Amino acid sequence: MSTQSPSGTESLGPDFSNGKLVAAIAQDAESGEVLMLAWMNEEAYRETLATSQATYYSRSRGRLWRKGEESGHVQRVREVRFDCDGDAILLLVDQTGPACHEGYRSCFFRRVDSQGVTIIAERMRDPSEIYRKP
Amino acid sequence: MSTQSPSGTESLGPDFSNGKLVAAIAQDAESGEVLMLAWMNEEAYRETLATSQATYYSRSRGRLWRKGEESGHVQRVREVRFDCDGDAILLLVDQTGPACHEGYRSCFFRRVDSQGVTIIAERMRDPSEIYRKP
């Protein structure tokens, strides 16, 4: 998978060399809302492309993380883009339910300004219900 | 600057402990287009809040990077958000000119799918003109 850009630079894709993790932004394909930022290794990236289901690399768990595997809040991937330097990925997704493990649609539910921090969104679901074992 | 979230978690802001860099997404405040991803240290974050001009930390140059300092393509910051885990920042900005050093409005001008990589945007400016010394 490569192309020739107008400047003649070869663009193979994101740079996963030496086991690097690449930041991946998930954006709601309809509303444009930025939902979350997570990380991908090459395996997660390839699986995302192959399945059209957002798959990340969980740094805390040290393994692939198929978004929604526990919560059911999956992301169907409509389009994958990557940036000029190959060190960031943008996914345009259809998000089922809240993207955030705290039950908000977007993980970016806190605004900061000179007054301090304000919660600017409503919770969609109670986190204790999202992760309750059956 | 702190607040009490509904879950009782104290939210001081992004986590810059131990000199950590935090990923910062710039999103066009009007169109919702994701323009770029860069990095902030605590100094960059504080300067961004204080000046409402996007300021990042350049990993390649090892110093603060006031977006547009060479190109003139500044970002006026309308709003700053941060995510649930305090490890990502979202800036809603008014972007002057192209955000990308390659002359595209957004750094995410390449789409990848099973057919390969496609350039999906038009260049706004020739990079050689952006950085030409006077």
pLDDT one-digit tens code per residue, A45-65: 999 999 999 999 999 999 999
Residue B53 C-beta-side C-alpha neighbours within 13 Å:
11
Tokens of A10: 């070869």
Write down the pLDDT at residue A11: 56
Does the pLDDT at position B132 exceed 90? no
Does the pLDDT at position B28 exceed 90? yes
Write down the pLDDT at residue B12: 77
Does the pLDDT at position B128 exceed 50? yes
Confidence of residue A130 (pLDDT cuts 50, 70, 90): confident
Cβ neighbours of A2 in B, within 8 Å = 116-117
Tokens of B24: 């910062």
Write down the pLDDT at residue B114: 87
Q: What is the amino acid identity at position A69?
A: E
Q: For B86-97, what is each residue's pLDDT tens digit?
A: 999 999 999 999
**pTM (2 d.p.):** 0.91
Write down the pLDDT at residue A1: 43
Cβ neighbours of A6 in B, within 8 Å = 119, 123
Distance from CA of A43 to the nearest CA of B (A): 15
Residue B4 C-beta-side C-alpha neighbours within 13 Å:
2
Is the CB of A49 less than 8 angstroms away from the CB of B25? no
